[in-house]
Chains A and B, each alone.
Chain A
Amino acid sequence: MNKLILGRYFPGDSWLHRLDPRAKLLAGVYFIFVLFLANNWETYLVLGLFTFAVMRLSDVKFGIYLRGVRPLIWLILFTVFLQILFTAGGEIYLDWGPITISEFGLINGVYIFCRFVMIIFISTVITLTTKPIDLTDAINILLRPLQKLRIPVDELSLMLSISLRFIPNLLDETQKVMDAQRARGTEFGEGSLFRQMKTLVPIFLPLFVSSLNRAEDMANAMEVRGYQSGEKRSIFRQLYWRRRDTLSLFIMILLTTLLIWLRTEGGIGH
């Protein structure tokens, strides 16, 4: 569990930490779309430098970002290989029927790889520098318009925030149940796959039951304190949009302009 970097928060006080979560979220999603503008080495270089600069701004060590990529590396390499093997064009280095390794294939593979890594880096930057609850609030506010389509945005984000609040409890409880089972002689992570699966049953059943009980207690506590879904609620956790938030979006626009200018059609490449 401790190895998972994506989705974790690192407390700090960097420029990025202080940015409004809405600005970060908007810029992050926008960045993913902007990535598709890149189609030559100049544009990728610009994007790479941008990503690197953002990572430096977060005050988090570079190694931590690399650890964020690690769990996904096989998925990335698999996609890259498919891209290399099935893209044709340019000079051909190897030819086995439908499978060819071509110049364009290789270049595309490298580009895809860069794109993946940059997406992971940028989303890691966002989650490392934003409290999960702030992110939930930002999602809530940004998705508000969907309420017109009768999507219960407020309820969903309350659900999300309560789940976030109970993750540590659930981990604690898992540890407790595992210890209790160990004290009764269960050995985890040994034997055949089937046996290992079987040792999980006595963990999940008590967890499931206690979660249900907890959910009932919570629902009671919420009801007693006047919660009713669908009613208008005020918001205590206020978000403040400051100058630097506008500035960050402005930077994104600049980046877009630069990329459009550097792109192959009509850019320097021609």
Chain B
Amino acid sequence: MKPIVKVKNLTFKYDKRIEEETLSDLSFTVNQGEWLAVIGHNGSGKSTLAKLLVGLLEPEEGSICIAGLNVNDTMNRNGRSHIGLVFQNPENQFIGTTVEDDVAFGLENINMPYEEMVKRIGKALKLVDMYEFRSHDPSRLSGGQKQRVAIAGMLALKPSLIILDEALVMLDPKSRRELLSTLQHLIKTENITVISITHDMNEAASADRIMILEKGRIVKSGSPSLIFEEQLDLQPPFAERLKRELITRGGEFPENYMTEEEMVRRLCNYCLIV
């Protein structure tokens, strides 16, 4: 496993006159192909971290290396095109006048030939299930649909590192699960790294690792089962709670996180055996 993101002693504040730091002394690494979930309360600095990682903000102190390049040295397009970021607010990141146009925007920027663009846009829109809406304009789309278009726009650029800043919050539970599993599949096959900022414990629980931010500091980082065990104020998802309860009563379950469906399947088998 080689680390693709290396953050060292990262410190940042929006207003230089104020003592309090928005992010203070963050150090962490993310390995290639890993899915890291970042959780924390409102205002804990998650979005700020995301903006620092893509170089939209400049760190006060410390360094950020992505794929061996210092983010703030290579402020050019080539250094960025392999990082994809989807923001919290889908409205303000919709640049095009139609769905297709919006997905095309990033591709136009790298001067991609027309035929290639058409192929990539079609593929990306099908992945997020928005292909039928390709000629719609943003005023006729719901928030969740706009979020999917934003994800398609990011996927079309084929990034090797994806940062999702609460990019799925407006999706209904079912489409969120579907889109997550689509992304997870894609990430496995293409060896993409993901940093996902989220308030959704189901999503966090299915990550490889969870990092908790509080007031701009990392308070804990580790595998989901470890985090849910130690952090008592975090309510783990239902399946996880059920699993633990059953383990204490002598049930046999694997260590890693199980989705609700896996749990149901497992329990059905269990009943049959008993």
Q: Could you list which residues of chain A lie within 8 angstroms of chain B, going by C-beta atoms?
A: 133, 161-162, 164-165, 168-169, 214, 217-218, 220-228, 231-238
Whether B95 and A165, one on each chain, are in contact in the complex, defined by CB atoms closer than 8 angstroms, is yes
CA distance A222 to B94 in the complex (A): 9
Inter-chain contacts of B114 with A (CB < 8 A) = 234-236, 238
Inter-chain contacts of A225 with B (CB < 8 A) = 95, 105-106, 109, 153-154, 157
Inter-chain contacts of A168 with B (CB < 8 A) = 139
Whether A161 and B111, one on each chain, are in contact in the complex, defined by CB atoms closer than 8 angstroms, is no
Known: A224-B56, A224-B80. A218 touches B93 (CB 8 A): yes
Inter-chain contacts of B104 with A (CB < 8 A) = 236-237
Is B97 an interface position by the 8 A CB rule?
Answer: yes
The 4 closest A-B pairs by CB, nearest first: A236-B104, A217-B92, A221-B93, A225-B106
- Picked from B76, B92, B97, B111, the residue with its CB within 8 Å of the CB of A164 is B97
- Picked from A165, A228, A235, the residue with its CB within 8 Å of the CB of B77 is A228
Inter-chain CB contacts under 8 Å: number: 86
Q: Fill in one digit per residue for B105-126: 1 if any A CB lies within 8 Å of its CB, else 0.
A: 1111111111001000100000
Most chain A CB within 10 A, of B84, B93, B97, B100, is at B97
A10 CB, min distance to chain B CBs, angstroms:
15
Known: A220-B56, A226-B77, A226-B81. A231 touches B109 (CB 8 A): yes
Inter-chain contacts of B76 with A (CB < 8 A) = 228
Inter-chain contacts of B5 with A (CB < 8 A) = none
Identify whether the interface residues of A are mostly helix, strand, loop, or mixed.
Answer: helix
Inter-chain contacts of A223 with B (CB < 8 A) = 56
CA distance A235 to B105 in the complex (A): 9
- Picked from A218, A220, A221, A232, the residue with its CB within 8 Å of the CB of B111 is A232
Whether B107 and A236, one on each chain, are in contact in the complex, defined by CB atoms closer than 8 angstroms, is yes
Whether B51 and A220, one on each chain, are in contact in the complex, defined by CB atoms closer than 8 angstroms, is yes
* Nearest CB in chain B to that of A136: its residue: B97
Inter-chain contacts of B93 with A (CB < 8 A) = 217-218, 221
Inter-chain contacts of A164 with B (CB < 8 A) = 97
A-B contact pairs, 13 of them (CB 8 A): A165-B94, A165-B96, A217-B87, A217-B92, A217-B93, A218-B92, A221-B95, A225-B109, A225-B157, A226-B106, A226-B110, A227-B105, A235-B114
A70 CB, min distance to chain B CBs, angstroms:
27
A106 CB, min distance to chain B CBs, angstroms:
48
CA distance A127 to B154 in the complex (A): 33
Whether A234 and B96, one on each chain, are in contact in the complex, defined by CB atoms closer than 8 angstroms, is no
Inter-chain contacts of B100 with A (CB < 8 A) = 236
Known: A214-B92, A224-B56, A238-B114. A233 touches B97 (CB 8 A): no
CA distance A232 to B112 in the complex (A): 10
B164 CB, min distance to chain A CBs, angstroms:
12
Inter-chain contacts of B77 with A (CB < 8 A) = 226, 228, 231
B168 CB, min distance to chain A CBs, angstroms:
17
